[in-house]
Structure 1
Amino acid sequence: MKNKSNVMKNSFTLIELIAAMGVFSILMLVMLSFFDGAQRAWSNCINRGQIYENARVAMDLITRDLQCAYYEVDKTPFWYKGYTSYSGASDEMYNQQMLAFVAVTSVPPSDNCNSKICEVKYQLYNYDASFGGLDPKKEGWLMRSATGDRREDPVGSGTYVDNVYSALNVSGKLNYYNNFTVSKDGAPTATTNVFTANSASSEDFQKVIPYVTKLEFISYYRSVTPATWLPPSVIEIAPDLVGDGASYPLPASTYKMTFPYSVRIEISLLDQVAWTKWKAMGGKRYVDSSGVLVDSGNATAEDFRVKNERIFIKTVILGERGQN
């Protein structure tokens, strides 16, 4: 009886057991809340890090190409295309701003190119569901085109042919020297245009980074007297900004596509999670048929975008290269 009495004295009562389980449950809840918060913080850090990584990739690539821009006085073009108002079903994707120039690029279109000198173009894919024939999977993508002296023909064959335009090679697309003709689609002869908004005179655009809500360029020029920096609107460069889709022959005797002294790059980005939520809210941002950058008109979606996007700005100095 004595042993049995001792066992009973050392046992937990039901109330004590319930209290212990309650304390244990509270501790588990606190621990789970802590780990959930830590996981959320980690996920947010990853998403934010994605924005900065994408911005670094884009800025480094554009900067490197601009710093290696090839220029010869009155012989090489530099085209800054502002927002345009193309209305054709296959042209509305090209209404965003575009920068097109010749560069000794470290990222040519193919390792089979003999020269690193390429015609390079950058623009944001312009998409809205109301536009016909556009690819929704490219919405929000920064696009880059590089046209070199060799191209794969036919695509996927592994066979590379000469891509330099000449009287004997009228299908060649590398045609920058002493050529100042630009247009929307290269009409009437695509390969005689040094730059077109679409890919008529260049290799196809390739994806660089996603979740871009805005991409803008400003090319600055220096006036001779006084020596001040001026944005393009101050100087007569209307053919670069008209955007009506017409072809502009620009011989050096009448007009020069002025090589800039500096280029300002502005890019706005969301992370993947914020982009998905913004689109679910009905958010969108595109250039309409009148050449104006517009948003969805949904106040909730646009407030969310403004709070979550990050804006990155960089000015690339090209300096004195005989522009004057």
Structure 2
Amino acid sequence: MKKNRKIRAFTLLEVLVSMAVFTVLMLALMQFFGAAQKIWTGTGQKNIMYENARVAMDLMSRDLQCAFYEWDRVPFLYTANDPSTSYDKIAFVTASGRVPNTNCISRLCEMQYYVGTAANLNYLMVTCTGEKTDANLDNTANWDFYRNSGSIGVAAAVFSTADTAQQVIPYVTGLKFSCYDKNMNSLSATPGFFPYSVKIDLTLLDRESYIKWVAMPSGGGDSSSDSSTTKTFRQNNERTFSRMVILGEKGQTAN
């Protein structure tokens, strides 16, 4: 006759030890997955930053390469350290595929790129201004290169007036344009000669680093007012992207 084995229940001590081991394993798994999620999130934000840089560089490069040139009539404006933003600004006439309104009769538009302030703080901004805003009215206050017969700086385009600005990418902490002639001599940052090439330096932060930077003392989104600690944090986390855009020889023999 087969005898049944008696089933013994766990003691309280054994249950407590098992729960302790299970808790330790769960904590280890949570730490592992937490670290993995943090790395994944950080990598995703870096990828977004790189993609934003590519989009901005492609947009500016394409507009620069399609820039319109006419000797002594159409200016090329490059402002170093624009007082309103402490960043560079560039403005030029280009053949654009995105005219600002349906009243424009030409694809030639005045394009500006700069870093925004106030509600557009640290955004790369662009304005695209056509020669007309009304079907029956010449938009001479903005841009009228057809009837402009004056020389540069006299009756040339009014670069300070533009159509509504649009945001391109966020978290910009640096924007620099360097203009050169065909011998790679630097050109002055004033309305003047059409450059042979333009070097763009665009500096960005990822979203998480930008939020931390803005919240730091003496931060506030203005790199020119950074304290030493804030500046160190920003410089350790930002990335600078550079591109040389060749506009080529378009008859600018004076430079």
TM-score (norm 1): 0.69
CA contact (8 A) 1:108 1:116 kept: yes
The 1:179/1:138 distance shift into structure 2, 3 A limit, reads farther
Q: Spell out the pairing of 1:155-166 with structure 2 (5 A cutoff).
A: 160-161=134-135, 164-165=138-139
Conservation of the 8 A alpha-carbon contact between 2:74 and 2:157: no
Structure 2 CA distance for partners of 1:179 and 1:77, relative to 1, 3 Å: farther
1:174 corresponding residue in structure 2: 143
For structure 1, the residue ranges without an aligned partner over 5 or more in a row are: 86-91, 128-134, 152-159, 166-170, 184-191, 223-227, 241-256, 287-293
Aligned to 1:195: 158
User: Secondary structure of the residue that 2:114 maps to in structure 1?
Assistant: strand
Please state if 1:273 is matched with 2:208: yes
Q: 2:98 aligns with which of 107, 111, 121?
A: 107
Cα distance in structure 2, aligned partners of 1:46 and 1:178 = 52
TM-score by length of 2: 0.86
Cα distance in 2 for partners of 1:173, 1:297 equals 36
Q: Which amino acid aligns with 1:195?
A: V
After superposition, where does 1:81-96 map in structure 2 within 5 Å? Answer: 81-85=79-83, 92-93=84-85, 96=87
Question: Structure 1 residues 285 and 216, CA, compared in 2 at 3 Å: closer, same or farther?
Answer: farther
Instruction: Give CA deviations for 1:79-134 in whole Å, capped at 9, x if unaligned.
Output: 1122245xxxxxx35x5322111101123223554432101111112x5xxxxxxx
1:34 pairs, out of 27, 32, 37, with: 32
178, 185, 204: which one pairs with 1:218?
Answer: 178
Per-residue CA deviations over 1:178-222 (Å, capped at 9, x if unaligned) read 455559xxxxxxxx55133x43xx213222111111111011013
Alignment of 1:304-315 (within 5 A): 304-315=233-244
Contact 1:268 1:311 in 2 (8 A): yes
> Is the Cα–Cα contact under 8 Å of residues 284 and 295 in structure 1 kept in the other structure?
no
Deviations 1:269-302 (A, max 9, x none): 111211111011132565xxxxxxx622411111
Q: Which runs of 5+ in 2 are unaligned?
A: none
Paired with 2:55 and 2:137, the residues of 1 have a C-alpha distance of 28
Shift in CA distance, 232/173, structure 1 to aligned 2, threshold 3 Å? same
Give the alignment partner of residue 66 of structure 2, picking from 65, 68, 73: 68
Residue 6 of structure 1 corresponds to which residue in structure 2? 6
SS at match of 1:75: coil
**Among the aligned pairs, what percent are the same residue?**
38
Aligned residues: 248
- In 2, are the aligned partners of 1:162 and 1:172 still within 8 Å (CA)? no
Q: Is 1:283 matched up with 2:219? A: yes
C-alpha RMSD of the superposition: 2.5
Residue 229 of structure 1 corresponds to 184
Distance 1:313 1:12 in 2: 68
Cα pair 1:81 1:97 within 8 Å, conserved = yes
Per the TM alignment, residue 50 of structure 1 is displaced from its structure 2 partner at its CA by: 1.9
Segments ≥4 residues shifted beyond 6 Å: none
- CA offsets 1:232-282 (integer angstroms, 9 cap, x no match): 14xxx7x54xxxxxxxxxxxxxxxx21110001011111121111101113
| C-alpha distance in structure 1 between counterparts of 2:220 and 2:131, whole Å | 38
Note if contact 1:142-1:212 (Cα within 8 Å) is conserved in structure 2: yes
Contact kept, 8 Å, 1:146 with 1:203, in 2: the verdict is: yes
